[in-house]
Chain A
Amino acid sequence: MAPQTDLLQGTLDLLILRTLALESHHGWGIARRIQQLTRGTFDVRPGSMFPALKRLEEKGWIAATWGTSENGRQAKFYTLTPGGRRRLKTEVEHWQRIAEAMGWALEGTR
């Protein structure tokens, strides 16, 4: 079982935007996809996922439509909006700067 790592709110937002940049998904699909993309490091619980989705929807970065899921049930599918795509771009740049800086700072501690 992969360890459950605490997620910063901004990190979760970034992961959701990143997942939706590939294709539209429903909430459960996004959670599974994040798990895959992070090789099981992040297991996003519904209690974090759905409020985050609502928040991103409120900000206009993602849009929701009802569709039919793979098991034939109605599910809410989320799509990245153009605004969300721009947001993802700046977030990615921001994150890479942080990661790079943290990399420098932690170099040699191993």
Chain B
Amino acid sequence: MSTGSESQRRWAGRSRELDESVPCDPAKLVGSRRIDRDTDAELRAYLDLSAGEHERQGLSADDARRAARVDLGSVHAVADDVRDARAGQRLETLWRDLRYAVRTLRHAPAYTIAVVGVLALGIGADTAVFSLVRGVLLNPIPLPDGAALVRVSHTPPPASFPGIKVFAVSPANYLDWQAQNHVFAATAAYQTFRRTLTGGDQAESVPVAAVEPSLFAVVRARPVIGRPFDVSEAVPGHDQVALVSMGFWRQHFGDAPLAGQTVMLDNRRYAVIGVMPASFTWPAWAMTNASIWVPLAWDATERAIRSIHNDQVVARLRPGTTVADARADMDEISKRLARDYPKEDTDWGAMVISLRDLVVGDVRQPLLILAGAVGLVLLIAVANAANLMLGRGLGRRRELAIRSAIGGSQRRIIEQLLMEALVVAVATTAIGWALAKGSLSVFGTFLADQLPRAAEVAMDWRMFVFAVAVAVVTGLTAALGPAVAASRAGLQATLRRGMGQGVLGLGGSPGSSDSRGSPSGCQSRTHRPRVPGVVQQC
């Protein structure tokens, strides 16, 4: 009995120093100290007045003060609510939560590094590889409606060219294909080569493409400055006009006006009539990767050549026409040509390949397998991180129960946990982004000659956002699950477990009479209408 009243006196004495009474919630001690002091002083005055009233009703000084304490409930909870009533409070609370979260995570470096590292690796790898797959496989042709573009080529007689499946085309055969087919909306022949650019300070070898004027209709591209080639310019003697790439234009002409500019190729002067947009420069295809385009000009003699194969052909399929349709049509034409020109065209067939397949080649399957593999890696990373977070959440149930007991509302506690998950997510996102970016540039450098278009692959934002979203949702679920479960399971059980381990430090030394759950001490500390079940249990 004597220890009981002693503890009560100690309790009463402590209540005069409200600021120091609860050392285990650092968040409460940060920020807006003046207003907190104000509220504390006001609550202290309330306690005095209330105790005075109880004393007048016949209680002893100690009992009156204790009754007043019970009346008031948790000082910190009330002070919290007063703070919440102030304008601009939300921002301050967020800031406080943020600092607390960073500090908490700093105190658990192994956990933080493990979770952030695992998730960042998963997100980074996933984003990089899916960007690669997307860039190389799914959307490989940066030309309008590029899926309808096909390359048409000869298949040479197997007897003379064993093993060779793709062969360049001769002008006369091409012109017959163009005239007789029923499957192409437009066709264009072209050649790519290098020419020596002279006229500047020094000679320079540049990639050049000679193209039929119809090319611009086939690939659906136009110069950003100037005009495309006219049919009249695909005639020897009228063909000294050129289009240049945006890169070439910037490098050689800068801001100069287009009119009157010329380029010298192999000592022939070409008038520059236009500039192709930068987006037209697509390194994977020699035709689009040229610096200068000139008209492909055939005279009558050249047009009649059937047995010199020098030209490439690109065509646009008619809407609704498939590559198989085109192959069937071209087979018919080839048979007819072999019949009509047995000397030149016997056993010369035709091949239609989608430009996309041509560019992507045979990397499709390995890339898809890789994509599936990193998808699994992300799953494993997320599962591991969830495991870590779940473990941490379970380990923290005691801390959460204590905060709840000294008046932290469930909303505030969950906000705090969300903030912690958010800090982890931000760190993860930043590192994952850097990893994805880094590995893409490594891919670009080392795979450029093995993987088509690897150097051009840009980071896929949708994939990145998806990976981050998966990680964040998992993290939140894993972090909040135990917290909510703990608050449901009841404070007392959790706290008891905690006291057994001597962690509860708010009621003086652990194991002293008043922290061992004397009914009075319990009630005055945990009296808090918002925490269900506590008042009744005490």
The chain B residues found within 8 Å of chain A, CB to CB, are 38-39, 41-43, 45-46, 48-50, 52-53, 71-73, 77-78, 81-82, 84-87, 529
26 pairs from A and B in contact (CB 8 Å cutoff): A26-B45, A26-B46, A27-B45, A27-B46, A28-B50, A29-B49, A45-B73, A45-B529, A46-B72, A46-B78, A47-B77, A47-B78, A47-B529, A50-B39, A50-B46, A50-B81, A50-B82, A51-B84, A52-B85, A54-B86, A58-B85, A71-B52, A73-B49, A74-B41, A75-B45, A76-B42
With a 10 A CB-CB cut-off, give which of A46, A55, A71 has the most chain B CB atoms: A46
With a 10 A CB-CB cut-off, give which of A28, A50, A74 has the most chain B CB atoms: A28
Does B71 contact A46, Cβ atoms closer than 8 Å?
yes
Does B78 contact A50, Cβ atoms closer than 8 Å?
yes
Q: Please report the C-alpha to C-alpha distance between residue A69 and residue B50 in the assembled complex, in whole angstroms.
A: 12
Which residues on the A side are within 8 Å of B78 (C-beta)? 46-47, 50-51
Q: Which of B45, B84, B85 contacts A28 (CB 8 A)?
A: B45
Q: Please report the C-alpha to C-alpha distance between residue A28 and residue B52 in the assembled complex, in whole angstroms.
A: 11
Which residues on the A side are within 8 Å of B39 (C-beta)? 50
Interface SS majority for chain B? helix
Binary B-proximity of A44-62 (CB < 8 A = 1, otherwise 0):
0111001110110010000
Q: Which of B45, B48, B71, B85 contacts A54 (CB 8 A)?
A: B85
Interface SS majority for chain A? helix
Q: Please report the C-alpha to C-alpha distance between residue A23 and residue B52 in the assembled complex, in whole angstroms.
A: 21
Which residues on the A side are within 8 Å of B86 (C-beta)? 54, 58
Contact A28 B49, CB 8 Å, known A50-B39, A51-B82, A58-B86: yes
Closest to B38 in A: A76
Bin chain A's interface residue count: 20 to 34
Which residues on the A side are within 8 Å of B72 (C-beta)? 46
Contact A51 B41, CB 8 Å, known A26-B49, A27-B46, A28-B49: no
Which residues on the A side are within 8 Å of B84 (C-beta)? 51
Which residues on the A side are within 8 Å of B77 (C-beta)? 47
Q: Please report the C-alpha to C-alpha distance between residue A50 and residue B86 in the assembled complex, in whole angstroms.
A: 11
Which residues on the B side are within 8 Å of A45 (C-beta)? 71, 73, 529
Contact A71 B85, CB 8 Å, known A46-B71, A47-B529, A76-B42: no
Q: Please report the C-alpha to C-alpha distance between residue A28 and residue B38 in the assembled complex, in whole angstroms.
A: 15
Q: Which of A28, A32, A51, A76 contacts B81 (CB 8 A)?
A: A51
Q: Please report the C-alpha to C-alpha distance between residue A101 and residue B71 in the assembled complex, in whole angstroms.
A: 36
**A74 → B minimal CB distance (Å):** 6
Does B45 contact A73, Cβ atoms closer than 8 Å?
yes
Which residues on the A side are within 8 Å of B41 (C-beta)? 74, 76
Does A69 contact B49, Cβ atoms closer than 8 Å?
yes
**B528 → A minimal CB distance (Å):** 8
Q: Which of B38, B49, B73, B82 contacts A71 (CB 8 A)?
A: B49
Residues from 14 to 50 in A contacting B, C-beta threshold 8 Å: 26-29, 32, 45-47, 50
